[in-house]
Chain A
Amino acid sequence: MTNILLITFTISLIYLGVANRLKSYITTLAFQGMLLFGVAFIELIEINWLNLVFVLLETIVFKTIAIPYFLNYVIRKNKITRDTDPFLPDFVSIVLITFIILGSFFLSNTIHDPHLRKIFFVVALSALFTGLYIITTRRKIITHVMGFLVIENGVFVLSLAVGNEMPMLVNIGILLDIFASIFLLGIFANKVVDEMKGQDVEQLTDLRD
């Protein structure tokens, strides 16, 4: 079951590569939140219940409901619907993200380690690099934040892989999530997007030498 969820998660990454409408980004992020909820539930069922409830609440309440709701609010308030033309065409995006996934797959195959659950490793690395890819190729500030959220999801998957032995690390990962969501999104993305009317990163070039 975990495998199915994780593979679906990876497919959603490819979808992100071609999505142009911000709405579809948000839906995908919410969907990923649900998948992570499933994975966390199956993987962490053995840890103490209080901790488990905390993790599950974070995936459902934060990742699936609160963040997408808030992102929706920002784009509605500022009347943005789509990312202006990305730096690279969609076709290239698909190819590159596929290569990212293949690359992580081959990389993890070179590791000979019985303790390692490779699928977690592959999915986490793919999400990490896809997130970085989204950040570097999109123009809108809000899309950059979404790229960062994809990275966060990847990190969450990775932390689940070690979560049974060290639940503390999962909790710290959640702390990172909450930190990023509340602070990055809540306060600054809101303010920055309001201030920079066009919301393009090209406007953030006042500071340079």
Chain B
Amino acid sequence: MIGVYLLSSFIISILLFFNRNRLVNYLLVCLFMIIQCGFTIYAYYHQNISELTYFTPDSLTIIFLGVLSIVCIPTFYHSYIYFQNNLDLPNQRGIYFAAIVVLLTTLSAAYLSNHIAITWIFVELTTLSASALIYHRRNRRTLEGTWKYLFVCSISITLVFIGILFLSIAVQQSGGTDLFYKELFNKAKGMNVFWLKLSFLFIFTGFTAKAGLVPMFNAGIDAKDKSPSPAGALFGSVLMNVGFIGIFRFYQIIGPTTIYLWANKIMLITGLLSVFIATVYLLRVKNFKRMLGYSSVEHMGLVMLGLAAGGIGRYAAILHLILHSFAKPTMFFQIGQVYRIYKSKSIYDVGDYFKYNFSGAMVLLFGFFVITAMPPSGMFVSEFLIFRSLFESGNLIILVIIFLLTTIIIWSLGKNIFKMIFIKPVKIPDENITPIKPIESLSQYILLALVIYLGLNPPDELVNLINNAISALPS
């Protein structure tokens, strides 16, 4: 079935690439959505059964596949609206949708992979499709964004490869012959600590480019800024999850070894630095999309802190990722509407949004509460649990610093978003713009409601999946 899924998605993307007809284009996209959702359901009922040797849907995979399938539907819907309101050249549209299909398929394959080298290959492929999306507008600035993204991701992927090479040295010494996660997990105790440490450093640093953590978060910000907002929604959610999954799988492998505590320290430092850097940039950022990008860096930093603190923090970290993957796309979709009215992403140019688009302004207002993790946002629960785990693990200094930093973040996000909603803009937008229909914001309300619901009252299936995913980690 996984083979069928990969093959059919591949065929759909090729057809999309060559097709010039609008109707056929959207029919193919709908077909892909059905395949994607159908496959996720199939994977849920066939957990832990390997197919094609290299793919096994385990609990973490199912969670992220589910998130991806849910996020992809509004993404396609908003892409449709995007092309209705922007230049709609058949060949560019074809490349855009083909790239999204390839991106989603390679992401799914990277989630599914049970072999570290296969994960690596598919992560590399996500870079390719992502750059096609960033370059969509084909002007000088998107070219710059694409170039930076490609270059940084190439270096990061090289670092991961070096890490895998070191890991293979360690594996050979412990008598292993291949690089399946399961085999690595079983052999981990006998591996040479030095090589394992080196390998962790390289793989971790490499995946930070995708996960949006310090030190390689930069490229991701440019990518989210320069791509069309529906694509930015994908970059800010499911693409970051793939970086997390790369880190998490390796973190699981070193669970039984003696370097586990050392790795926790590295992750704590990275998490703290990520939140710190995000705060610094959020204080001065003037571009709404980049602001959302830095907010993602903050949330990924919190996820790392939760994971490293252990205990309830691990559960909270994964819950936080899920909720973040729904909340961030909402804001990106909304910024698409803002851009249509003001023709600008700068916070200076946007204002009095209630007057121009009531339903959209409500999304921004609710979205603000959700992404800053204020009740009733579901992220309040996950963030609260992360803080509790930091407290319980004795990282009080880090906790205090994080409190300070998140307060500053709430202040700076609030300052910008409230300005956009309530204060009059410097330049009054054109009165002749076609008003945005409230129905276009419906998908955003649904996603926000989902964040609240999943955080406050997660269904038992989800809780079981999360608990299964973290069960292999040492207590």
Contact = CB atoms under 8 A, between A and B. Distances in A.
A191 B143 contact: yes
A180 B145 CA distance: 17
Contacts of A191: 143
Q: How large is the interface on B (under 10, 10 to 19, 20 to 34, 35 or more residues)?
A: 35 or more
Contact of A151 (B144, B155, B177): B155
A162 interface: yes
Contact of B124 (A113, A179, A204): A179
A204 B144 contact: yes
Interface string B151-167: 10011011001101100
Contacts, number: 97
Interface stretch (A44-52, A78-86, A93-101, A152-160): A152-160
B473 interface: no
Interface string B11-55: 000000000000000000000000000000000000000000000
A141 B185 CA distance: 42
A159 B290 CA distance: 38
A169 B117 contact: yes
Contacts of A144: 151
A111 interface: yes
Given A128-B162, A148-B155, A159-B165, A207 B148 contact: yes
A53 interface: no
Contact of B162 (A158, A168, A184, A204): A158
Contact of B141 (A141, A152, A206): A206
A175 B192 CA distance: 28
B281 interface: yes
Given A151-B155, A191-B143, A209-B281, A169 B165 contact: yes
B143 A192 contact: yes
B78 to A, nearest CB: 23
Contacts of B186: none
Nearest to B160: A176
Interface in B155-204: 155, 157-158, 161-162, 164-165, 168-169, 172-173, 177-179, 192, 194-195
A68 interface: no
Nearest to A116: B169
A173 B141 CA distance: 31
A113 B194 contact: yes
Interface in A71-128: 111, 113, 115-116, 128
A183 B287 CA distance: 30
A111 B172 CA distance: 16
Contacts of A207: 141, 144-145, 148, 222, 225-226
A165 B124 CA distance: 24
Contact of B151 (A116, A148, A161, A175): A148
Given A169-B164, A188-B143, A207-B144, 4 more contacts: A176-B161, A206-B141, A207-B145, A209-B281
Interface of B: 117, 120-121, 124, 128, 131, 140-141, 143-148, 150-151, 154-155, 157-158, 161-162, 164-165, 168-169, 172-173, 177-179, 192, 194-195, 222, 225-226, 281, 284-287, 290
Interface of A: 111, 113, 115-116, 128, 141, 144, 148, 151-152, 155, 158-159, 161-162, 165-166, 168-169, 172-173, 175-176, 179-180, 183-184, 188, 191-192, 195-196, 204, 206-207, 209
